[in-house]
């Protein structure tokens, strides 16, 4: 049995709690990705420009970063079940309200709440995943994150399909939310009621600065999420402006990345069990960096698409392994460590693309991608120190 962790008493109990963890990741991915197809409708309904829309989207990111640092303490006090269930319920309500929020201020508040619930759920479900993975005695984190990626793909597809069939954004969200609530009702009973048996959880601070190995792991997560954000926000621009790809097809770079990452995560647990976390982070960083370098230096469209695929393959299991390392380290309590690491990672995802754009404005997008590649090589070099117990 693992010290301070809730025991998973029987194989049946373990299987049920593993399934509930997968559902939590899937629901979160579905809810998060449902927002993307709504953005053009929100822009048109509110009659706002790109700058105002950018500020609204920033509210989503700010909400996530506000909630993440304190969620570890909340889970230690109230358990994964309460935090995940309440956060997902509020996320579903705010998701539906995104299609009807009155005015810019109402939309800003709603996006702030939506982001906070996403951030809280993200930390809480990763804490549950760490405990469930420890109890199983084998790597499972990549598979859990694979369900998040799967939800990310299907959420956008389902929303787009429902609106293509003639449903309004509001009614499309009602349909999706109804399914999400059914899934939550099914899995909530098997979410962990508690993750820490110590008597000190009531005295845990709301937030502490990351220290020791947690600071290193968080920095590596920042780089990994920065690489993901670079592909998400800039791959189509790169293909269109520097490789001359038609805008209609420029999004295929991100599609190659997403498919490769999803497949990589669903096969990642076997790879981690076979190679170990240190080798996965090392070779993953090398592979992702090689993908960026291929995109930059080989001036052919096919090479760019192969490069974005390599980035997805390499990056797919870095973050899951680092989250596991955050749960296993002894520098900080598990809840506070995961909250800090997730916060630092998402800071890279949210702020990184803006930094890439600023550097590209001063030099070029190729230089920006090159710096991301250097960061991934540094990540590979720090793999052993970050993942060794």
pLDDT in tens, 118-164: 989 988 998 899 889 888 888 899 999 999 888 888 887 888 888 88
189 and 61 in a common domain: yes
Q: Domain boundary residue among 170, 196, 222?
A: 196
pLDDT in tens, 231-285: 887 888 889 888 888 877 887 888 889 889 999 999 999 999 999 999 999 999 9
CATH number for the domain that contains residue 36: 1.20.1250.20
In a domain, 208, yes or no: no
Local confidence band at 336 (pLDDT 50, 70, 90 cut-offs): confident
Question: How many C-beta neighbours within 10 Å does residue 78 have?
Answer: 15
218 and 345 in a common domain: yes
235 and 185 in a common domain: no
State mean pLDDT over 322-345. 87
pLDDT in tens, 343-379: 898 888 877 777 888 888 888 889 999 999 999 999 9
Q: Domain boundary residue among 163, 196, 229?
A: 196
How far, in Å, are 243, 294, 296, 307, 373 from residue 300 at the CA level? Answer: 7, 10, 10, 11, 19
In a domain, 5, yes or no: no
Query: ∠29-346-142 over CA atoms, to 5°?
Result: 50
Q: Which domain holds residue 102?
A: 11-196
189 and 42 in a common domain: yes
Both structure tokens of 388:
């060794």
Both structure tokens of 28:
């979160």
pTM for the full model?
0.83
**Number of domains into which the chain is organized:** 2
In a domain, 340, yes or no: yes
225 and 169 in a common domain: no
186 and 88 in a common domain: yes
Both structure tokens of 21:
């963890």
pLDDT in tens, 43-97: 888 888 767 877 887 888 888 888 888 888 888 888 889 999 999 999 999 999 9
In a domain, 4, yes or no: no
356 and 269 in a common domain: yes
282 and 182 in a common domain: no
167 and 52 in a common domain: yes
In a domain, 263, yes or no: yes
In a domain, 320, yes or no: yes
Q: Is 349 helix (H, G, I), strand (E, B) or coil?
A: helix
């Amino acid at each position: 049995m693992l010290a301070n962790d809730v025991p998973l008493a029987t194989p049946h109990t373990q299987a049920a709690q593993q399934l509930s963890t997968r559902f939590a990741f899937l629901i979160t991915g579905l809810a998060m990705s449902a927002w993307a197809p709504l953005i053009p409708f929100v822009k048109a309904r509110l009659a706002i420009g790109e700058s105002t829309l950018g500020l609204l989207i920033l509210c989503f990111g700010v909400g996530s970063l506000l909630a993440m640092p304190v969620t570890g303490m909340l889970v230690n006090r109230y358990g994964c079940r309460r935090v995940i269930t309440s956060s997902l319920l509020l996320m579903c309500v705010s998701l539906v309200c995104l299609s009807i929020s009155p005015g810019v201020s109402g939309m800003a508040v709603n996006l702030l709440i939506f982001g906070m619930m996403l951030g809280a759920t993200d930390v809480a479900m990763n804490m549950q995943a760490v405990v469930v993975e420890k109890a199983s005695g084998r790597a499972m984190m990549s598979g859990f994150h694979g369900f998040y990626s799967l939800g990310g793909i299907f959420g956008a597809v389902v929303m787009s399909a429902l609106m293509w069939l003639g449903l309004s954004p509001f009614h499309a969200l009602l349909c999706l939310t109804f399914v999400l609530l059914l899934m939550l009702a099914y899995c909530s009973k098997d979410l962990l009621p508690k993750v820490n048996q110590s008597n000190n959880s009531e005295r845990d601070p709301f937030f502490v600065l990351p220290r020791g190995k947690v600071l290193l792991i968080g920095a590596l997560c920042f780089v990994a999420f920065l690489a993901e954000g670079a592909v998400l926000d800039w791959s189509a621009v790169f293909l269109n402006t520097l490789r001359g790809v038609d805008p209609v097809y420029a999004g295929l770079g991100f599609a190659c990345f997403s498919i490769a990452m999803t497949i990589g995560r669903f096969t990642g647990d076997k790879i981690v069990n076979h190679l170990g976390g240190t080798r996965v982070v090392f070779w993953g960083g090398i592979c992702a960096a090689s993908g960026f370098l291929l995109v930059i230096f080989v001036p052919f469209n096919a090479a760019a698409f192969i490069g974005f695929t390599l980035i997805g393959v390499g990056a797919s299991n870095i973050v899951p392994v680092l989250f596991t390392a955050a749960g296993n380290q002894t520098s900080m309590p598990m809840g506070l460590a995961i909250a800090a690491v997730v916060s630092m990672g998402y800071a890279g995802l949210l702020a990184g693309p803006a930094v890439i754009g600023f550097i590209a404005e001063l030099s070029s997008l190729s230089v920006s991608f090159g710096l991301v590649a250097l960061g991934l090589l540094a990540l590979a070099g720090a793999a052993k120190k970050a993942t060794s117990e």
